[in-house]
Amino acid sequence: MLNAEKRKTLFLLIPIILILVGYVLYPSIETLLESFKRNGSMTLQNYIDFFGPKAQSNLEALWNSVYISLLSVLLSACIGIPLAFIFTRYDFPGRSFFSGIAIMPIVLPSLVGVMAFMWLYGEVGLVPSAIRDIFDLEEVPFSIGGVSGILIVHAYTMYPYFYMTVSSALNNVDPSLEESAANLGSSRLGVFWKVTFPLLTPALVAASLLVFMVSMASFSAPFLLAGGYRVLSLQIYFSKINGNLEMAATQSVILSIISISFLLFMRWFQSRKDYRMGTKGIGAHRSEVSSPLLKWVMVSLGVVAMIVLLLPHAVLAILSFVPEGSWTWQTYPTSFNFENYRLLFEDPNIWDPVRNSLFMAFVACLGCFVFGMLTSYALVKRKFIGKNLLDILVMIPWALPATVVGMNLILAFNKETPFSFGQVLVGTYWILPLAYFVRFIPLVVRSTSAVLEQLDDSIEEAAQSLGAKWFYTFRRVVLPIIMPGVLSGTLLAFVQAVGEFPTSVLLYTLDNRPISIEIMNQLRLFNLGQAAAFGMIQVGLIAIVMVISYKFFGVKSENTL
Q: Which is nearer to other proteins, 3 or 349 (CB)?
A: 3
Quick one: DSSP state of residue 271? H
CB of 472 to other proteins, least distance (A): 6
Q: Which is nearer to other proteins, 131 or 455 (CB)?
A: 455
Cβ 37 vs Cβ 45: under 8 Å: no
Q: How far apart are CA 561 and CA 548, in angstroms?
A: 17
Rg, Å, the chain Cα set: 25
Q: Which is nearer to other proteins, 234 or 477 (CB)?
A: 477
CB of 480 to other proteins, least distance (A): 5
CB of 382 to other proteins, least distance (A): 14
Q: Which is nearer to other proteins, 288 or 456 (CB)?
A: 456
Q: Which is nearer to other proteins, 184 or 466 (CB)?
A: 466
Q: If we measure between CA atoms, which residue out of 411, 499, 508, 394 comes closest to residue 449?
A: 394
What end-to-end distance do the CA atoms of the chain give, in Å? 43
Q: Which is nearer to other proteins, 228 or 467 (CB)?
A: 467
Q: How far apart are CA 311 and CA 317, in angstroms?
A: 10
Per-residue b or e along 12-37, where b marks 16 or more CB atoms closer than 10 Å to that residue's CB: bbeebbebbebbbebbbebbbebbbb
CB of 457 to other proteins, least distance (A): 9
Per-residue b or e along 510-529, where b marks 16 or more CB atoms closer than 10 Å to that residue's CB: eebbbbbbbbbebbeeebbb
CB of 1 to other proteins, least distance (A): 9
Give, for 383, the enclosing helix (H) or strand (E): none
CB of 100 to other proteins, least distance (A): 29
Cβ 171 vs Cβ 88: under 8 Å: yes
Contacts of 353 (CB under 8 A, 6+ apart): 513, 514, 515, 517, 518, 534
Q: How far apart are CA 325 and CA 526, in angstroms?
A: 8
Give, for 384, the enclosing helix (H) or strand (E): none
CB of 494 to other proteins, least distance (A): 24
CB of 483 to other proteins, least distance (A): 9
Q: Which is nearer to other proteins, 15 or 484 (CB)?
A: 484
DSSP string, 517-544: HHHHHHHHTT-HHHHHHHHHHHHHHHHH
CB of 5 to other proteins, least distance (A): 8
CB of 379 to other proteins, least distance (A): 20
Q: How far apart are CA 284 and CA 175, in angstroms?
A: 7
Q: Which is nearer to other proteins, 1 or 293 (CB)?
A: 1
Q: Which residues bind other proteins (CB under 8 A)?
A: 3-5, 456, 458-459, 461-469, 472, 476-477, 480-481
Contacts of 223 (CB under 8 A, 6+ apart): 111, 114, 234, 237, 501, 505
- For residue 49, give Cα distances in angstroms to 15, 236, 471: 40, 14, 55
Q: Which is nearer to other proteins, 7 or 188 (CB)?
A: 7
Q: If we measure between CA atoms, which residue out of 205, 498, 267 comes closest to residue 395?
A: 267
Q: Which is nearer to other proteins, 453 or 461 (CB)?
A: 461
Q: Which is nearer to other proteins, 3 or 287 (CB)?
A: 3
Q: Which is nearer to other proteins, 243 or 480 (CB)?
A: 480
Contacts of 219 (CB under 8 A, 6+ apart): 110, 233, 234, 237, 401, 402, 403, 501, 502, 505
DSSP string, 16-35: HHHHHIIIIIHHHHHHHHHH
Residue 425 neighbours by CB distance under 10 Å: 23
Compute, in degrees rounded to 10, the torsion defined by CA atoms 458, 461, 465, 469: 150
CB of 172 to other proteins, least distance (A): 24
Q: What are phi and psi of 386, to 5 degrees?
A: 85, 20
Q: Which is nearer to other proteins, 101 or 481 (CB)?
A: 481
Q: Which is nearer to other proteins, 6 or 54 (CB)?
A: 6
Q: How far apart are CA 516 and CA 525, in angstroms?
A: 14
Strand partners, 41: 38
CB of 12 to other proteins, least distance (A): 16
